[in-house]
């Protein structure tokens, strides 16, 4: 039996602390072509999903939580408990699909069975249908879940994933090469001195980052309608933009792809706040930005390996390009401050705290009305090439994040082939304008692209002259 880590178990504890919350993450694949026969589809999905060990295991919790929960094999595993069918109401358009996705995702997974479901959704127009994969967050983070989802498709584990869209990644640890090894004592002393200096630098940076990260968590953001308690019902919407356009913007302005995506999200939140009659302020939108610390050789492992940053996204800035540059500058400042290293250290150290105490702290924090973080924006690298399922092309992939901890609106980004998708989950009552938020993201990218093309055009003319 394998124990859940503290961070994995925390998603179960957060769910237990708030009856309005479901901590399942999801992904929707819209597929072009006739729906296969039920038996053919059941057979294919059973074979491909049954090959993932974690999907045949239960979470076993100890009495009084004297130890962390454990994964145990489900002796009565029956995949038909997990393969479900649904149909969207007419006309079967995107809003109807999104309403169905929200309905499915807002319901908690049954802990008497392995914590996942796979929904086949019928009723889409033009001979299309969809698959919704729903997995509890305690099983996997976004990257691991995407690799699990890849098992459904015809390419399976051979699917290749993008890497440049990630929010940030850990710096590789320096390793000695054979050319650096020497029997000379002076060489040893030099290497020992350099290593000690590096260690001191890392400790100093991590300590400084820990101080800043803690201060950010304790400092309330400006009050707004974006933040507050949530109910049971959810809304879902999505935006899709060209990855080529995002790359053009990043190249022209010298920023990362993730900077562009976050700037577009910032643009949309600014518009939503103003439409609601609220003034966007510098401290209105502190955002939890998860950072993967998953090494390349662990991409297919079903676990959670994340750190985090807590930037204020600049909703106060009117100009799109200045806003983009501010996003870039603020993220760079946090990367250099050691904040993400500190968050990663907090996650690692949590494993050394007795689980009974950890569980109590997590439940307490989940019940308290935290006011420091307003939203979450996570970025998952998706498949680089177009996928197929039983020979039918996958038209689009959309991420579906959960909401909790007084975050009424959460955004997840997923790259797929030549596009970048934004999935937005929101509280039903507090966010009736979730579709406007999605359209605002698309408009934010369009604004930046127009400025990028205008910025590049004069240089092109000078070259021709």
The answer to whether residue 137 is catalytic is yes
Q: How far is CA 445 from CA 309, 316, 380, in A?
A: 23, 18, 18
First to last CA, the chain: 71
Which residue among 82, 136, 137, 227 is the active-site one? 137
**Residue 79 burial by Cβ neighbours in a 10 Å radius (0-12, 13-18, 19+):** middle
pLDDT tens per residue across all 465 residues of the chain? 799 999 999 999 999 999 999 999 999 999 999 999 999 999 999 999 888 889 999 999 998 888 999 999 999 999 999 999 999 999 999 999 999 999 999 999 999 999 999 999 999 999 999 999 999 999 999 988 898 888 899 987 666 777 666 555 544 444 444 444 444 555 545 555 555 454 444 444 445 555 666 666 678 888 899 999 999 999 999 999 999 999 999 999 999 999 999 999 999 999 999 999 999 999 999 999 998 877 777 766 777 888 889 999 999 999 999 999 999 999 999 888 777 676 667 677 777 788 889 888 888 888 888 889 999 999 999 999 999 999 999 999 999 999 999 999 999 999 999 999 999 999 999 999 999 999 999 999 999 999 999 988 765 555 454
Q: Which two tokens stand for residue 217?
A: 């968590």
Q: Nearest-CA neighbor of 134 among 97, 99, 106?
A: 106
Class of the domain covering 2-158: alpha beta
Distance (Å, rounded) from C-alpha 186 to C-alpha 122? 71
Q: Do residues 172 and 45 lie in contact, with contact meaning Cβ atoms separated by under 8 Å? A: no
Distance (Å, rounded) from C-alpha 117 to C-alpha 101? 12
Give the percent of the chain with pLDDT over 70: 83
How high is the pLDDT of residue 143?
Answer: 87
Spatial CB neighbours of 243, under 8 Å, sequence gap ≥ 6: 257, 415, 417, 418, 419, 420
Distance (Å, rounded) from C-alpha 153 to C-alpha 36? 14
Q: Which two tokens stand for residue 455?
A: 């910025």
Domain 2-158 and domain 202-382+406-464 have a common topology: yes
Q: Do residues 149 and 299 lie in contact, with contact meaning Cβ atoms separated by under 8 Å? A: no
Q: Nearest-CA neighbor of 419 among 452, 387, 450, 455?
A: 387
Distance (Å, rounded) from C-alpha 247 to C-alpha 318? 22
Distance (Å, rounded) from C-alpha 428 to C-alpha 434? 9
CATH second-level architecture of 202-382+406-464? Answer: 2-Layer Sandwich (3.30)
Show me where the domains of the chain are located: 2-158, 202-382+406-464
Distance (Å, rounded) from C-alpha 260 to C-alpha 267? 11
């Amino acid at each position: 039996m394998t124990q859940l880590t503290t961070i994995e178990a925390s998603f179960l504890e957060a769910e237990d602390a708030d009856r309005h919350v479901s901590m399942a993450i999801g992904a929707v694949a819209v597929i072009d072509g006739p729906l296969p026969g039920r038996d053919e589809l059941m057979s294919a999905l059973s074979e491909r999903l049954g090959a993932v060990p974690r999907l045949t295991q239960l979470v076993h919790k100890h009495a009084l939580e004297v130890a962390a929960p454990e994964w145990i094999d489900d002796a009565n595993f029956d995949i038909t408990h997990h393969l479900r069918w649904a149909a969207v109401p007419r006309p079967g358009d995107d809003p109807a699909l999104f309403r169905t996705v929200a309905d499915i995702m807002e319901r908690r997974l049954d802990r008497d069975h392995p914590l996942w479901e796979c929904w086949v959704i019928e009723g889409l127009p033009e001979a299309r249908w969809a698959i919704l994969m729903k997995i509890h967050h305690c099983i996997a983070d976004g990257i691991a879940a995407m690799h699990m989802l890849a098992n459904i498709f015809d390419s399976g584990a051979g699917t290749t994933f993008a890497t440049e869209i990630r929010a940030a990644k850990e710096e590789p640890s320096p390793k000695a090469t054979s050319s650096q090894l020497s029997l000379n004592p002076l060489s040893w002393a030099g290497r020992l001195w350099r290593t000690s200096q590096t260690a001191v630098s890392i400790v100093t940076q991590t300590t400084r980052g820990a101080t800043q990260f803690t201060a950010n968590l304790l400092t309330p953001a400006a009050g707004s309608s974006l933040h507050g308690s949530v109910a049971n019902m959810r809304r879902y919407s999505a935006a899709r933009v060209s990855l080529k356009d995002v790359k053009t913007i990043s190249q022209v302005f010298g920023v990362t792809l993730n900077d562009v995506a976050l700037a577009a999200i910032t643009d949309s939140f600014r518009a939503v706040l103003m439409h609601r009659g609220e003034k966007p302020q510098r401290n209105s939108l502190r955002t939890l930005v998860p950072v993967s610390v998953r090494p390349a050789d662990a991409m297919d492992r079903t676990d959670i390996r994340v750190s985090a940053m807590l930037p204020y996204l600049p909703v106060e800035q009117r100009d799109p390009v200045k806003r983009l540059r501010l996003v870039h500058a603020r993220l760079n400042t946090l990367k250099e401050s050691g904040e993400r290293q500190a968050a990663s250290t907090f996650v690692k150290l949590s494993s050394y705290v007795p689980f009974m105490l950890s569980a109590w702290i997590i439940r307490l924090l989940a019940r308290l009305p935290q006011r420091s973080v307003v939203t979450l924006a996570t970025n998952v690298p998706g498949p680089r090439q177009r996928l197929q399922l039983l020979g039918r092309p996958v038209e689009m992939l959309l991420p579906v994040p959960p909401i909790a901890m007084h975050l009424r609106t959460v955004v997840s980004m997923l790259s797929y082939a030549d596009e970048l998708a934004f999935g937005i989950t929101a509280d039903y009552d507090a966010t009736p304008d979730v579709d406007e938020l999605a359209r605002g993201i698309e408009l934010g990218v369009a604004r930046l692209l127009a400025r990028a093309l205008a910025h590049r055009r004069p240089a092109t003319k000078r070259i021709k002259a």
